[in-house]
Amino acid sequence: MTELTEQQHNAQMADMKSFDEQMPCVGIFWYDPGEHVFFGVRKQELTPKMVEDAAEKGMPFINYPHLHRQVWAKEFFRAQAKHVETKFKGDYTQIPRGRVAWTIDKFIVLVGRWAEPIQDELTELLEKEFSLPYFEFVYDEHWDLGHGWSGDMP
């Protein structure tokens, strides 16, 4: 049997890496309506094994493990410390935002009613950014502008 040298092995791994595609992801995002792009995207790849393991444990919902308000605050303070301009200023609930999650047998994208008029545009952005093969929009008032984490509300 012939074995690859370390150099040949590394070359083979580098070649295969060029074929690697991102797995579908769960995560969060903000949408900049002026530029028609996402910003502040945070995501985590989701593999079939992760879905199977969650189902075995009776956990049919897989979510990204951070809240928008946490990411917003972290980015705000990072920009302050570095004295740089940032989109992460003001009230995070006043910027269109959403969450990509997995439930039972499909990806869902949780958004507010702000997304209805631009659903086709969002679909294209979401498919590309989160590598989603299929998903459904789920509208909830939590994601409407001015609504946020219940702990933030008076």
Q: How many domains does the chain have?
A: 1
**Which 8-state DSSP code applies to residue 57?**
T
In a domain, 120, yes or no: yes
pTM of the model: 0.83
Per-residue confidence band for 19, with pLDDT thresholds at 50, 70 and 90: low
In a domain, 137, yes or no: yes
In a domain, 1, yes or no: no
In a domain, 121, yes or no: yes
pLDDT score at 18? 64
State how far the Cα of 65 lies from the Cα of 40, in Å rounded to an integer: 15
Please state, rounded to an integer, the average pLDDT across all residues of the chain. 90
Asked if residue 26 lies in contact with residue 44, where contact means CB atoms within 8 angstroms, the answer is yes
pLDDT in tens, 36-94: 999 999 999 998 898 888 888 888 889 999 999 999 999 999 999 999 999 999 999 99
Of 10-14, 17-21, 101-105, 150-154, which gets the smallest average pLDDT?
A: 150-154
In a domain, 14, yes or no: no
pLDDT score at 20? 62
Instruction: Evaluate the CA torsion angle 119, 125, 127, 131 in order and state its sign.
Output: negative
> In a 3-state reduction of DSSP, which class is residue 107?
strand
In a domain, 16, yes or no: no
| Residue 153 reports pLDDT greater than 70 | no
Pairing verdict, β 135-139 and 106-111? parallel
Query: 37: Cβ–Cβ under 8 A, 6 or more apart, which residues?
Result: 31, 125
State how far the Cα of 99 lies from the Cα of 68, in Å rounded to an integer: 9
Q: Domain range spanning residue 59?
A: 22-152
In a domain, 5, yes or no: no
In a domain, 7, yes or no: no
pLDDT score at 29? 98
Per-residue confidence band for 152, with pLDDT thresholds at 50, 70 and 90: low
